[in-house]
Structures are given as C-alpha cells and as structure tokens.
Amino acid sequence: MEKLNKDNAYLESIETLLYAVEAKDSYTRGHSDRVSEYSVLIGKYLSLSEEELNILRIGGIFHDIGKIGISDQILKKKGKLTDEEYLEIKNHPNIGKNILSNSTIFKDIIPIVLHHHERFDGTGYPSNLKGEEIPYLARITSIADSFDAMTSNRPYRTVLSLEQARSEIEKNSGTQFDPKIVKVFLEVLDYHYDEIQEIQKKY
C-alpha cells in the first residue's frame, strides 16, 4: 500500500508540473512530449533497461521545466537573442534542478534536466562537462532535444527538413553530441523512421 501511495503521489506531482509547463507555453508541452518519446526510442535501440527508459521518459518531459522561470518576452522572441537574453536562457537548467530538488521522487531525472545542454567537447552549459563526464541519459536527451528543435517550428525560424536535421546531427558528432549515440540515432532515422513519424503524429 505504501508503494502504491508513493506511485500515486509521483504521478500527481508529474501532472501538476505538466500543467504548469503547458500554462507557461503551449509549445513547450508538445516539444517536451516529443523529446521524451525520442529519448526513449533512442534508449530502446541502445538496449537500455526498463528503469533507464522510464528515467528517460520522465526526464524528457521535464528537461525544460526551468523555462517556467524565464520571461515570456525572451521565450517567445522572434529574432536573435541579445547576449543578456541568451545568458538568462542558459540559466533554465539550474532553475529546473532547483524546482525538482524540492522532492526526492525526482532525484533520478535531475541529471537530465541539469545537463542536457552540455556538449561532448566541453563547451556546453551549465557545468562545461566533457565527454563521459556528462551523464549518459543526458547525452541521449541532448540529441532528442536538438532533433526536435530542428524539425519543429520555433518563433525564431522555420522547420528544417529531415535531411538538413540529419546532416546537422552528423556534423556535430563528437563536438556537441556523443558519437556512439549519434551512430545509433542515425540508424533509427535510416531504418526506423516510421517510429519517428508515429511520435510526430501524436503531438
């Protein structure tokens, strides 16, 4: 019974936070759902455990939760951000970590929320982690996040084609992204693209 109550509390907490995200920016909800499912899809072809896949699922949903603390003027701005605005955007992983740190039930997904903007070459944020210093699941979410950002409309630019997005992911293998995960993701695009399309149809 205790486990059931904990599970119910976990699900209720998730739903509450999801409503908060959607109220902030309706685009963010669809983006986070797709990132969640893309991450799980990549994880499946990396032969991850069910527990790891579940962490990816929830981590993907909440990877941008920190944007609740970023002003709408910046989030919805059309055109290039100023240096000051970009610095504010870069704070959203830390804001997200602080929000989720208030509850122990989210401890497993905090590494994803905090580190999905790190880069494999060490030039990312917020901690300039490099290579395998970056949590493995965050490296997966990073690719899923970037792919969705490129293949869905944003206030500051139009959608890229699949070929353009694929080229960008491949070009940034070893610099922005973990090359081993990129290899698997490109295989998903080449041989299992129908699964990508199913996710896109849902959201």
Q: What is the CATH number of the domain that holds 114?
A: 1.10.3210.10
Q: How confident is the model at residue 11, as a pLDDT?
A: 62
Give the SS3 label for residue 160: coil
The parent domain of residue 195 ranges over: 2-202
Task: Give the predicted TM-score (pTM) of the model.
Answer: 0.91
Number of residues that this document lists for the chain? 203
Catalytic residues: 67
Q: Which residue has the higher pLDDT, 153 or 11?
A: 153
Q: Could you tell me the pLDDT band of residue 3, with boundaries at 50, 70 and 90? A: very low
What is the mean predicted confidence (pLDDT) over 170-175? 98
> Which residue, 7, 59, 51, 9, is CA-closest to 33?
59
Taking 90 as the threshold, does the pLDDT of residue 59 lie above it?
A: yes
Q: Which residue has the higher pLDDT, 42 or 74?
A: 42
Residue 159 dihedral angles phi and psi, to the nearest 5°: -65, 145
Q: How confident is the model at residue 2, as a pLDDT?
A: 44
Taking 80 as the threshold, does the pLDDT of residue 72 lie above it?
A: yes
Strand partners, 157: 154
Question: Helix H segments across 116-178?
Answer: 136-151, 162-171
Q: Give the total number of structural domains in the chain.
A: 1
Taking 60 as the threshold, does the pLDDT of residue 84 lie above it?
A: yes
